[in-house]
Structure 1
Amino acid sequence: MKSKIPYAEVIGDPISQSKSPLIHKFWLEKLEIEADYRACHVKPEALEAYVDSRRADELWRGCNVTLPHKLAILNHVSDPGQIRDNIGAMNTVARTEDGELFGTNTDAGGFFSPLAELNLAGADVIVIGAGGAARAVLFALSRIKVGQVTILNRNVLKASALLAHFGLKGQALEHESNLPSAGLLVNASALGMEGQDELDIDLAPLPDDALVYDLVYAPLRTKLLRQAEARGLETIDGLAMLIGQAALAFEIFFDAAPPVEHDDELRKLLIG
């Protein structure tokens, strides 16, 4: 039976691992908003048909976009915030009252939210990966004027191009290269995620006051974070960015701010 209430979705391939439905449903319930949020498995070849079908659905409020669609979705919706030029990847699509679909990116804000109180100006940073999530990370780093940025990626030319695109000084190295010293290390790749290869790196070059931030949230305690904890380094897990970007998207979809006073309860739900 077709839903008679407003709804939003998260799309990807695969999609069963997504925790977005848990997050948005939790907030909808707390705020007593009569709406729904669901996961929708969309294969790459079906992306255009999916977008067309939702454009005609007046109950559809939008969707979060995860792998592998963050780049491809740029070709199917309008881009009023010039996300294509600024970040180069979209993770959120919404529908206006007149049926127009537009995209934006809440990943950059979600990534930065747990770092907002830190002074990272001038700090050297290592970023692992050069995909859609890495683009959001690099965009955020370019806005807080960090120091040298090293990108580790299998495709060094792609990583070098991203440094130039975001106006960042640094270097691109092959994925297996030894780490330089840096105050912040960010894993913006899928390595370490359930069903993917492990991220196997030596953290010895990092100083004792370095911060390790893994965007992977399934599993939550990744091998990278366990290694960092064993060294006594500060860590941030993938739920921080996941909840942060979801909060921005929730406001777009449902025109209401998430109830942050329940964040501890939400985190326990996601871990459980």
Structure 2
Amino acid sequence: MRAEVIGDPIAQSKSPAIHRFWLDQLGLAASYDAVHVRPGELADYIAARRADAGWRGCNVTMPHKQAIIPLLDAVDPLAAKVGAVNTVVRSADGQLVGHNTDVAGFLEPLQPLLAQEHLFRMARIFGAGGAARAVVSALAGHGFTLVLAARDPARAAALLAELDPRGEHHVAPMAHFAAPTDFAFDDRHGCCDLIVNASPLGMAGQPLLALDLSHVPPRSVIYDLVTAPLRTDLITRAEAAGLRTIDGLEMLIGQAAAAFALFFGQPAPRQCDGELRAMLTA
């Protein structure tokens, strides 16, 4: 049996290393590979895999997370709500079912924080693409007021209206956060403040995320979903300012573990996370 990850580009994906590490740890006779699938090739890829009985499914990265939905037989409720599929699994009856494990992966490192009681929860999210869809869906379900910052505020507003129409959320142009501010934050005792970079800004080959830390409330948690490089400019500056940070590898491993169980029918060996992180960051 085998599974894959597809995307365009795909060479940078860490998913094969993660899944192969777990397969080796468990001694499973299975494989996991990366396949470069361009947008015009997606339908042919799915058609070919339908005829391959040993194919258990695939992870889906940019730019296919929404485009793949019409090619599937069914989509689970969470993926339908998010409007994005990052995992396709062949069911026992041969149907191809779309799932979203990004939400679970994103929330996993936040669980100790979310287990606490807060007077107020606010998240400032940067980006309005596929990753932001999972982040908005996840945090709206945990009582956060959201500020969604994007180059196109109209797109951000449409995303919020689609995913959480009853929420009292806000949009802002991304440029608003670039210049310093002298805003005096109120007493944040009992509050939960989260900053999430769900954009490609800060990724190798991309401009940096222009966020002046004067916009960040005291004791905020900074969560950068970028994985290449792992220590982004945002993470480095936040740590220097004494803020708690979560890197993109946390979400990547979390969502991969959920997908692994769907593909191979048993949980990933998470007791080996330390060894896995060391391998991925070597």
TM-score, length basis structure 2: 0.90
Whether contact under 8 Å (1:163, 1:169) holds in the other structure is: no
Q: How does 1:224-235 map to 2 (within 5 A)?
A: 224-235=234-245
User: C-alpha offsets along residues 176-230 of structure 1, whole Å, 9 cap, x if unaligned?
Assistant: 1127868100011111112222212101121220000000111000011111111
Pair 1:153-2:150 in alignment? yes
Q: How does 1:155-234 map to 2 (within 5 A)?
A: 155-167=152-164, 168-178=167-177, 183-234=193-244
Equivalent of 2:74 in 49, 72, 79: 79
For the residue of structure 2 that corresponds to 1:117, the secondary structure is: helix
Task: Tell me by how many angstroms 1:80 deviates.
Answer: 3.8
User: C-alpha offsets along residues 106-160 of structure 1, whole Å, 9 cap, x if unaligned?
Assistant: 00000000001113753111011111111111111111111x2111111211111
Q: Which amino acid aligns with 1:95?
A: R
Q: Give unpaired runs (5+ residues) of structure 2.
A: 186-191
Equivalent of 2:269 in 248, 259, 270: 259
Q: Give unpaired runs (5+ residues) of structure 1.
A: 1-5
For the residue of structure 1 that corresponds to 2:112, the secondary structure is: coil
**Counterpart in 1 of 2:86?**
91
Task: Tell me by how many angstroms 1:85 deviates.
Answer: 4.0
Equivalent of 1:242 in 245, 248, 252: 252
| Counterpart-to-counterpart distance in 2, 1:69 and 1:165 | 20
Pair 1:125-2:110 in alignment? no
Whether contact under 8 Å (1:208, 1:232) holds in the other structure is: no
| Counterpart-to-counterpart distance in 2, 1:247 and 1:23 | 9
Q: Which amino acid aligns with 2:129?
A: G
Q: Which amino acid aligns with 1:205?
A: H
Equivalent of 1:138 in 124, 136, 140: 136
For the residue of structure 1 that corresponds to 2:174, the secondary structure is: coil
- Figure out how many residues of one structure are paired with residues of the other and give that number: 266
Whether contact under 8 Å (1:111, 1:241) holds in the other structure is: yes
| Counterpart-to-counterpart distance in 1, 2:29 and 2:79 | 33
**Counterpart in 1 of 2:279?**
269
Pair 1:23-2:18 in alignment? yes
| Counterpart-to-counterpart distance in 1, 2:127 and 2:245 | 18
Q: Which amino acid aligns with 1:112?
A: L
TM-score, length basis structure 1: 0.94
Q: Quote the RMSD (CA, aligned, Å).
A: 1.6
Question: Between the two proteins, what is the percent identity of the paired residues?
Answer: 48
Displaced runs of 4+ in structure 1, greater than 4 A?
A: 179-182
Aligned CA distance change for structure 1 residues 197 and 57 (closer, same or farther; 3 Å): same
**Counterpart in 2 of 1:3?**
none
Aligned CA distance change for structure 1 residues 225 and 10 (closer, same or farther; 3 Å): same
Task: Tell me by how many angstroms 1:95 deviates.
Answer: 0.8
Task: Tell me by how many angstroms 1:99 deviates.
Answer: 2.2
